[in-house]
Amino acid sequence: MNQLVGVKKWCCVYDLVIIGGGPAALAAAVYAARQKISFAVIAENIGGQTAISADIENYLGFPATNGPELSNSFERHVSKYEVGVKEGEKVLAIQQSGKNFTVKTAASAYKTKAVLIASGKKPRKLNVPGEDRLYGRGVTYCATCDAPVFAGKDIAVIGGGNSAMDAALLAEKYSNKVYIININPELKGDAIMMGSIRKSKKITVFSNAMTAEILGEKSVAGVKFRQNSSSGDNKEKSVSVQGAFVEIGYIPSVDFDRLTQKNKWNEIIIHDDTEHFMSNLTSVPGIFAAGDVTDVPEKQIIVAAGEGVKAVLSIFKFLGSQMQGY
C-alpha cells in the first residue's frame, strides 16, 4: 500500500483516523471506504500479529492458510476500495481539542472528528541478561519470520502458551532440536497443538523453568534457566542452542494513548451504549477501540476483524449524531 491516505486526499479535518494495520483496522477501513467518509489509516506495518502467525486453520473461508497469506488477502481486499495506508508511520500521541482530535506522528499531524485505536499488541520481553544484546543475533520475537534461518540448528522457545507452541511446531519443521522452556507446570492453550508437541520426537519441554540468561558473545550460544523439581529443589540448567525464540505473550501497543482508561493489563477498556446502539466506546467520547488492544478477552483474528466492524459502524452513528448536534 502506498502513501495515499483514505479514499481521497483531504486537507482539513478527517471524519476518522484509524490507528493500526491488523484485522480490526483493515476491516474497519473497508467499511469506512464503502461509506465514503474522509478517513486516514496510519499503520507501522500491514497485518499486525496476523502477518507473523504460522498455520491458521480457524478463520472462516480459509480452511488451511498461514499468517502471511491471510494478511496478504486482507491487503488485497482493502486495495479494491482504493484505501491507502500511511504505512511505516509511528503514532506518537493523540491530543484532544474541543470535540476534535489530533493524531501526531513523527512525519505529520492528522486532525479528525473520531479516532479508532486498533493498534494491537507487541511482543513482551523477558528482561533477562543477553536478551537485548543478542537481539537479531539469535534472539527473535517472530518465529514465522525467522524459523527458516535456523534450519538444521538447535533452538529454544521460551514460553508455554499458544504462541510458544505455535513457534515450536513451526521451528520443528526446520530445526534439529527444539527446547520449550516453560515457567508454568504445564503447557496451556490449544489442545491440538499440545497433542502435536507431545508426539514430536524433536521437541523437549522443560516445565517449571524460569529463564535466567541468554548466553553467547557474538550470537546466541545457549539459554540458562532455573528449574523447580517436585522435591522443591531449584536447579540451574542450560541448553546449548543457536536461537532463542521469545514467546511469552504480548502487551498492548498503547504508548501513544494517554487519554483513554485502561485495565490492570494496560488494555483499553471499552463499553456499549445500548440506548444509542453503539459499541466499542472508550472513556473518551469520539475515541473508539477494537481488537487485541482492548479488554475483550477473546484474542482471535476473526474476533478482531468483527470488533473492527462493530467499532466503525458505531463511529458512523457517532459522526451522524455530531452532524445533528446531539
pLDDT greater than 50 at residue 229? yes
Contact indicator for 287, 101 with CB cutoff of 8 Å = yes
Task: Check whether residue 154 and residue 303 sit in a common domain.
Answer: no
Task: Check whether residue 108 and residue 207 sit in a common domain.
Answer: no
Task: Check whether residue 238 and residue 256 sit in a common domain.
Answer: no
Summarised one tens digit per residue, pLDDT across range 165-204 is 999 999 999 999 999 999 999 999 899 999 999 999 999 9
Query: Considering its fold, how many domains does the chain have in total?
Result: 2
**Is 276 inside a domain boundary?**
yes
Residues paired with residue 240 on neighbouring β-strands, in sequence order: 222
pLDDT greater than 70 at residue 231? no
Summarised one tens digit per residue, pLDDT across range 271-296 is 999 999 999 999 999 999 999 999 99
**Is 7 inside a domain boundary?**
no
Task: Check whether residue 241 and residue 254 sit in a common domain.
Answer: no
Can you give the CATH number for the domain in which 223 is found? 3.50.50.60
Q: Which domain holds residue 34?
A: 13-123+250-324
Write down the pLDDT at residue 51.
78
**Is 2 inside a domain boundary?**
no
SS3 159: coil
Overall pTM surpassing 0.75 (yes/no): yes
Task: Check whether residue 87 and residue 181 sit in a common domain.
Answer: no
pLDDT greater than 80 at residue 137? yes
Task: Check whether residue 118 and residue 196 sit in a common domain.
Answer: no
Integer distance in angstroms from the first to the last C-alpha of the chain? 37
Contact indicator for 8, 83 with CB cutoff of 8 Å = no
pLDDT greater than 60 at residue 6? no
Summarised one tens digit per residue, pLDDT across range 41-78 is 999 988 887 877 777 888 899 888 888 889 888 888 98
pLDDT greater than 60 at residue 9? no
